[in-house]
Amino acid sequence: MSGLGGLNKTPGGIVISVVQSQLLTVRTPEDLAKAVAHVVSLVSRTKRAYPATDLVVFPEYCIHGLSMLTDASIMCTMDGPEVAALKDICRAEKIWGCFSIMEKNELDPDHPWDVGIVINDQGQLANYYRKMHPWVPIEPWYPGNQGLPVFEGPGGVKMSLIVCHDGMLPEMAREAAYKGAEVLLRTAGYTPPIRESWELTNRTNAFANLMYTASVCLAGTDGTLESMGNAMFCGPEGDILVQGSNSVDEIFACEIRPDEVRRRRRHWSVENNLYQFGHRGYVAVQGGASDCPYTYMQDLVKGQWKTAEDDEVTVKDGTSIGYAPPTHKFGEAGPETRN
């Protein structure tokens, strides 16, 4: 049930629109300004096309393109003109918006943050997220250091935002659901070879956590790279509610009914996996077992992560893509900052 692709909204429901915005070439401050103006225009277009929209979601790299440039002149700050323009349009159109920026990193200026932000319909910041799992070895971004927040979106619906490769790791969706998220937003800049994995993980993340997933990629080409579009809404049983194409700047919408999540999480017995994960075998054991029998979790907490193939892994940094080897450990200041 999608409310006829977001054209209808029932009491208690919200409408989310996703925009397969054009993959742009952004190498200069002038390019960046044009990209921001393009996104701003698409916010207004979304409101005209789908007046019931409560939240509009743009892909990762929507204003930076896929060049992976880290030049300071095109990096954003939260108090800079790019974020200000996004806040202004959300306030003017009375709509929530989810956007992507590459943000300057004072900890390590050579490796900016890949940031997702959500702005409410009053033009105020409602969510700030630093991508936890950059797509290595391709992406140079510093790994997120603030965890995965859950926020109250329009209508009080609990949401979380992950970015691109984050969604390939089931622990990310589980973390969001464990903290109460009813809708998982996923923004990406993926290219066509990832299409099947994209659909598989969007559906699995929804079903394994009894949540909605709303996911969107860039679309089109910058003359070298091509993004796949393929926006997708999945229901809490993993069914595809709305699926996009690869059309540039196309908008797709879906009604989200949070009661469908709450009902399943509260009243399901079979396949209520979010609850049952921490209450193993409650038929046989009072309250179920809530231990941690998973070696990978125990080792990660101890800082001793090592897979069975660790010693044979051949790609362990970005040198194969042309990046210099990293010179400091996670959480340490970079060389320029230390001096």
pLDDT tens digits along 154-208: 999 999 999 999 999 999 999 999 999 999 999 999 999 999 999 999 999 999 9
Among 60, 82, 93, 103, the one annotated catalytic? 60
State the burial class of residue 151 (Cβ atoms within 10 Å of its Cβ: 0-12, 13-18, 19+): middle
Residue 83: pLDDT over 90: yes
Among 98, 164, 217, 234, the one annotated catalytic? 164
For residue 262, what are the contacts with CB-CB under 8 A and spacing of at least 6? Answer: 182
Whole-angstrom Cα distance, residue 204 to residue 40?
Answer: 32
Among 9, 131, 217, 254, the one annotated catalytic? 131
Are the C-beta atoms of residues 120 and 136 closer than 8 Å to each other?
Answer: no
For residue range 129-140, list pLDDT tens digits in order. 999 999 999 999
Going along the chain from its start, the domains and CATH numbers come out as 3-276 (3.60.110.10)
Q: Which two tokens stand for residue 326?
A: 């990293």
Phi/psi for 318 (5° steps) reads -100, 15
pLDDT confidence bin for 84, thresholds 50/70/90:
very high
pLDDT of residue 338: 43
131 classed as catalytic: yes
Stated as kind and residue range, the H or E segment containing 253 is strand 250-256
Task: Tell me whether strands 55-57 and 96-103 are parallel, antiparallel or unpaired.
Answer: parallel
What mean pLDDT do residues 328-333 have? 84
pLDDT of residue 8: 80
Are the C-beta atoms of residues 35 and 26 closer than 8 Å to each other?
Answer: yes
Does the global pTM surpass 0.85? yes
